[in-house]
Amino acid sequence: MADRRFDIVVFGATGFTGALTAEYLARNAPDGMRWALAGRNMDKLAEVRARLGDGLEELPLLRADSGDAASMREVAEATKVVVTTVGPYIRYGEPLVAACAAAGTDYVDLTGEPEFVDRMYLNHHDRAERSGARIVHSCGFDSIPYDLGVQYTVEQLPEGAPISVDGFMRTKASFSGGTYQSAIEILGGLRSGAKVARDRRAREGDPAGRRVRGVSGRPHPDEFAGGWVAPFPTIDPATVLRSARALDRYGPDFTYSHYAVVGPLPMLVGLSAAAGMAVVLAQVSPTRDLLLKLKSSGEGPSAQERAKSWFQVRFAARANGDAELRTQVSGGDPGYGETSKMLAESALCLAYDDLPERAGQLTPAVAMGPALRRRLVAAGIEFKVLDA
């Protein structure tokens, strides 16, 4: 790919998170980085470019539309790495994945949509393996803290031992219209998503001579987590388990349970009722459409709101059933400030770092692992072992 015109292209730079990702790259780009912004509206792209500061007045702008396969091919063939924030991905994401898989171009997104990720594996993994493309989904708050956090935890434990890990997510944050739209799409597609997930598991199979399992767990109070916890069926545990299946370092028998910390018991009851109602309403087109109209894509929290946001993910692990090892990953605003950082650093890692020779659809831990973790630590995200 030495003859590619760009190192990195940001597709969707006029959106809320896309603009934050472009701003992060503008502040942290290494000397000589060749990059560009891409999107449908050239005037809006120019407005984003104007906000990036001095020295970037001539930053290239590329017209690209997910509904125009030719423009997706042109973007993929022009760069080493594409960063995309254009969602919901189940609606708009596949043309760019297909173009990158064909062109041998590395791809990163921030999707939390399980059905999209599974469909992309079924449709494009084999071609990406042949072309050398690394297709890396979920490079934001979904699923970097959990995927790299579990990998970091496993690295502190003895090799060759059975390992069990419980992850506990705690956060204070607001969310954008794009995140809300993706969440409703996920809820509305639970049935079709379950079928696609089964098809993927049948194709992937299990690792030879090893066992990797997800354990759903149950709601319970947990002192280490800091309150009542409930199983949290996001894309994150699936990402962790895929990394565990791909990497022998996770041991001969690995289990993972994933929880959200929801505070006192009454809050757990209220949130469970609200979540159940949202699932019911999202199953029927008229009520799903009404839900989608409540918050539009492109909206997001203010800089002041983001400055007050934070996340903390704690892990309790055992090897050979021994005493717990406790670790933590923490940072600032998870949905936007830290997500744009994680996404941009993932692109920089793929573009510049010495990484394992792998291709196809990969998890962040499998594609980048410790190299990306070093970047994130340098950028202010903390990975640490806690005192017992």
pLDDT tens, position by position, 17-52: 999 999 999 999 999 999 999 999 999 999 999 999
DSSP state of 250: G
Widest CA span in the chain: 60
Q: Which helix (H) or strand (E) holds 278?
A: helix 265-282
Which backbone phi and psi does 55 adopt, to 5 degrees? Answer: 90, -5
The burial of 205, by beta-carbon neighbours within 10 Å (0-12 exposed, 13-18 middle, 19 or more buried), is given as exposed
pLDDT, position 301: 65
pLDDT at site 193: 83
Report the distance separating Cα 38 and Cα 61, nearest Å: 6
Band (pLDDT 50/70/90 cuts) for residue 307 is confident
Q: Are 179 and 340 in contact (CB under 8 A)?
A: no
In whole angstroms, what is the distance from residue 319 CA to residue 327 CA?
A: 14
pLDDT tier for residue 87 given thresholds of 50, 70 and 90: confident
Task: Identify the pLDDT of residue 233.
Answer: 82
What is d(CA 193, CA 197) in angstroms, rounded to the nearest whole number? 6
Looking only at the bridges linking them, the beta strands covering 382-385 and 211-214 are unpaired
Who's near 317: CB < 8 A, 6+ residues apart?
A: 153, 154, 156, 157, 163, 164, 165, 166, 324, 325, 326, 327
pLDDT tops 80 at residue 267: no
* pLDDT of 319 above 80: yes
Beta bridge partners of 162: none
pLDDT of 165 higher than 80: yes
What angle do helix axes 177-188 and 265-282 make, rounded to 10 degrees?
70
Q: Does the pLDDT at position 123 exceed 70?
A: yes
pLDDT at 92 over 80: yes
- What pTM was estimated for this model as a whole? 0.90
Residue 323's pLDDT band, with cuts at 50, 70 and 90, is confident
Higher pLDDT, 116 or 286: 116
Angle at 205 between CA 150 and CA 110, to 5 degrees: 45
- Say what the pLDDT of residue 382 is: 98
Locate 315 and state its tokens.
């892990």
| 351 pLDDT higher than 90 | yes
